[in-house]
Amino acid sequence: MRMNQKPLEIIIAFLLVTSLSTFPSPAQTTNGTQAGDGPPTKLPEVVVTDNKPVESRPGWLQEEQTVGGNEQPEWTTRRRFSTTRVYVISPWQMEFEQWWKGKFLRHGKTEHLFQSEVEIGLPYRFQLDLYENIERTQSGTLRHQGNQVEARWALADWGKIPLNPTLYGEWKFNDHEPDAYEVKLLLGDELAPRWHWGLNVFYEQQVGGGRESEAGASLAVSYTCVDEKLSVGLETNLERASGPNLEGKPAIEFLLGPSIQWRPTRRTHLDLVPLLGTTGDSPRVEAFIVFGIDFGPGGSHHFPRAPASAQTR
């Protein structure tokens, strides 16, 4: 007996239509609206950068752009002068410096000091320095001279107070003479693009023995020849020393001479400073060679990078 296939075909067709109607159209969203009816989808912003630093001070050198938590020019984050200090370094920046100081006296003898220094930048505009000193005396003996601990505190972020005043205190633990303390007022700023300067006023006092004391000031200025590479300048130092060994007649020293700083890399610097004595109490020449390298997460050479689109504005 043959069955009639017409009802079966109708049932299969009905099931197919019902199943297909449950899938949304490609042009529809899940809530039944057209895809083009709603607001467009916003994709995440993509920022493209290049190697050009952001200039916080347009028209100034890269070493004069502000860096770090103290908003200070980059050149202040390393020692620029041998006789004059300026401000503090950036928080958590660290620097190691090796010094040679040679003093060539008028009667023909010489003194040499080999000084190792570690500088540590701290929050709230503090800085801590530690020194280890080895000396070669006039008789030619090489010996340990002592240690020094130095602290600085800048009164405000750079540029907030005229001349950027910074307080300085140091204690000298001497092996062969009485210990001494020293206090200073540090001032410094920029005269114009490429021109930098610093001024220190200081007083030092022994805490035992003959209680010898020194008071004076130092002034220095520099000009940048090649941005972040080479600068030249002039340094001066005036001291008045008194004590029982001077028989009531203070010794007056005034030295001045050129200074050169070369920065082989962004993290290193080499300073050469020969100072000439101009008074009878001054040495004929007092010379400095300083090599420094900075390291640590607070280093000042990580400039922010600008979006490429912003650099064409």
pTM equals: 0.78
Residues 6+ apart with CB under 8 A from 125: 70, 88, 153, 154, 155, 156, 157
How high is the pLDDT of residue 294?
Answer: 93
- Look up residue 263 and give its DSSP letter: -
Work out the average pLDDT over 259-282: 96
pLDDT of residue 307: 41
Domains of the chain: 60-295 (2.40.160.40)
Q: Is pLDDT at 64 greater than 90 in this prediction?
A: yes
Q: Tell me, what's the pLDDT at 61?
A: 95
Highest mean pLDDT among 1-15, 180-194, 290-304: 180-194
Distance CA(165)–CA(205), nearest Å, equals: 22
Distance between CA atoms of residues 182 and 203, nearest Å: 6
User: For residues 273 and 218, what is the distance between their CA atoms, to the nearest angstrom?
Assistant: 14
pLDDT of amino acid 304: 44
The pLDDT value given to residue 312 = 36
In the structure, what pLDDT confidence band is assigned to residue 21 with cuts at 50, 70 and 90?
Answer: low
pLDDT at 248: 72
* pLDDT score of 100: 98
**Residue-wise pLDDT tens digits, 93-123:** 999 999 999 999 998 889 999 999 999 999 9
State which of 62-71, 228-237, 299-308 shows the largest mean pLDDT.
228-237
pLDDT at 152 over 60: yes
- Residue 38 confidence (pLDDT): 57
Q: How far is CA 271 from CA 24, 165, 213, 276, in A?
A: 76, 24, 28, 16
Handedness of CA 28, 29, 35, 37 (dihedral sign): positive
Token readout for 12 is 């299969």
Residue 193 confidence (pLDDT) above 80: yes
Region 78-104 average pLDDT? 96
pLDDT, residue 14, reads 59
Give the pLDDT of residue 6.
57
> What gap in Å lies between CA 237 and CA 261, rounded to an integer?
18
Give residue 172's pLDDT. Answer: 98
pLDDT average, residue stretch 274-294 = 97
3-state secondary structure (DSSP) of residue 190 = strand
Buried b (16+ CB within 10 A) or exposed e, 87-108: bbbbbebbbebebebbbbeeee
Mean pLDDT of the chain: 85
Please state which of the ranges 31-35, 157-161, 165-169 shows the lowest mean pLDDT: 31-35
